[in-house]
């Protein structure tokens, strides 16, 4: 089926769920059909192979997902599609929008996997904002995303600027972290690697390794600057443990030791293992 220099319209009814979030099909009867509508200026569809090629004002709609791009190609049978040249995907009910230069959409056992390349920018509601060169986002029952290349991401009260960020369920990992900010606690961390756990969209535990630099700037009180080779933050204990040439600087004093335990709430410091304290004395 082919249409040139005209508006192409393709309504495909599938027994499979294409471009879908598993939550969307709850309550549907097994074998129910799903409508996918493709609009474009030019369109070619081969029923034998299931291949679709379209260009010019392409717009694909599948329930809550709307994808717009100048070009698209893909296969209905394998449920794989590629959009390119300034792509805009949106999910109105989720208040989510993804823009990029190229977008690939495919089905997996875990849900629908979206892979974007080039100036990727995902916004979800007022809390989540992810910018990166490449982005993978799985729409399914489990949380999964992977952002690579000049990542600048904001999740609620957290901000991450790094080379790569991966989140899978409650676990996250970030490489070459230039800035990791927990605004709720007033903590900022930079390190070669940061891993941890998130619960209720808040940092539950954080591990940092390699050239660790930590700044604590509470809303009230003095700033604390800590460096070391490794650090562990445990929210339930309210403590930050730093090891490996640990050094803490507060106004007028510097503490060095093999291990430093910093109590975030009251800014109290414990130094363990050959501690050294340097105090600045102002002469009158």
Lookup result for tokens 């309504």: 11
Q: Which residue has the tokens 């899978």?
A: 168
Residue 226 lies in domain: 156-284
What would the pLDDT profile of 19-73 be if each residue is shown by its tens digit? 433 333 323 444 555 677 889 999 998 888 888 899 999 998 887 889 999 999 9
pTM of the model: 0.80
- 232 domain-assigned: yes
Residue 53 lies in a domain: no
Closest CA to 84 of 98, 65, 95, 71: 71
Identify whether 186 is part of a domain: yes
Rounded to 5°, the CA angle 22-27-32 comes to: 85
Residue 63 has a CB neighbour count (10 Å cut-off) of 17
Task: Report yes or no on 224 lying in a domain.
Answer: yes
Instruction: Report the C-alpha gap between 278 and 271 in whole angstroms.
Output: 13
Assigned domain for 86 exists: no
**What CATH number does the domain containing 272 carry?**
2.60.450.10
Q: Does 101 fall in a domain? A: no
pLDDT at residue 33, as a whole number: 58
Number of domains making up the chain:
1
Query: Which of 201, 198, 197, 180 minimizes the C-alpha distance to 189?
Result: 180
User: Which has the minimum average pLDDT: 2-16, 95-109, 138-152, 155-169?
Assistant: 2-16
pLDDT value of position 8:
46
pLDDT tens, 239-271?
999 999 999 998 888 999 999 999 988 888 999
Give the burial class of 179: count Cβ atoms within 10 A of its Cβ; 0-12 exposed, 13-18 middle, 19 or more buried. middle
Residue 165 maps to a domain: yes
Query: What is the C-alpha to C-alpha distance for residues 186 and 164, in angstroms, rounded to an integer?
Result: 23
Q: Can you give the three-state secondary structure of 216-231, one letter per residue?
A: ECCCCCCCEEEEEEEE
Q: How far apart are CA 243 and CA 246, in angstroms?
A: 5
Half-sphere exposure of 251 (CA within 13 A, CB side): 6
Q: Point out which residues pair with 152 in neighbouring strands.
A: 131, 161
Give the span between the Cα atoms of 66 and 186, in whole angstroms: 38
Is there a domain that residue 160 lies in? yes
In the chain, DSSP finds a helix count (H) and a strand count (E) of 0, 20
């Amino acid at each position: 089926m082919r249409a040139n220099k005209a508006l192409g319209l393709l309504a495909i009814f599938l027994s499979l769920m294409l471009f879908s979030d598993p939550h969307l099909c709850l309550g549907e009867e097994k074998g129910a059909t799903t409508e996918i509508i493709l609009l474009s200026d030019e369109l070619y569809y081969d029923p034998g192979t299931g291949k679709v090629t379209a260009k010019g004002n392409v717009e694909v709609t599948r329930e809550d997902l709307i994808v717009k791009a100048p070009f698209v190609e893909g296969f209905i049978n394998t449920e794989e599609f590629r959009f390119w040249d300034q792509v805009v995907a949106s999910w109105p009910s989720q208040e989510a929008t993804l823009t990029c230069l190229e977008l690939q959409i495919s089905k997996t056992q875990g849900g629908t996997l979206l892979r974007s390349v080039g100036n990727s920018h995902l916004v979800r509601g007022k809390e989540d904002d992810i910018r990166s060169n490449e982005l993978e986002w799985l729409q399914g029952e489990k949380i999964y995303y992977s952002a690579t290349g000049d990542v600048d991401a904001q999740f609620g009260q957290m901000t991450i600027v790094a080379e790569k960020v991966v989140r899978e369920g409650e676990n996250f990992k970030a490489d070459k972290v230039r800035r990791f900010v927990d605004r709720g606690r007033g903590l900022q961390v930079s390190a070669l690697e940061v891993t941890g756990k998130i619960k209720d969209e808040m940092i539950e535990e954080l591990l940092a390794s390699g050239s660790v630099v930590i700044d604590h700037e509470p809303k009230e009180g003095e700033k604390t600057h800590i460096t070391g080779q490794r650090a562990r933050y445990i929210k339930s204990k309210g403590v930050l443990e730093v090891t490996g040439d640990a050094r803490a600087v507060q106004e007028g004093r510097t503490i060095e030791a093999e291990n430093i335990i910093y109590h975030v709430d009251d800014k109290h410091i414990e130094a363990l293992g050959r501690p050294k304290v340097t105090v600045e004395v102002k002469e009158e």
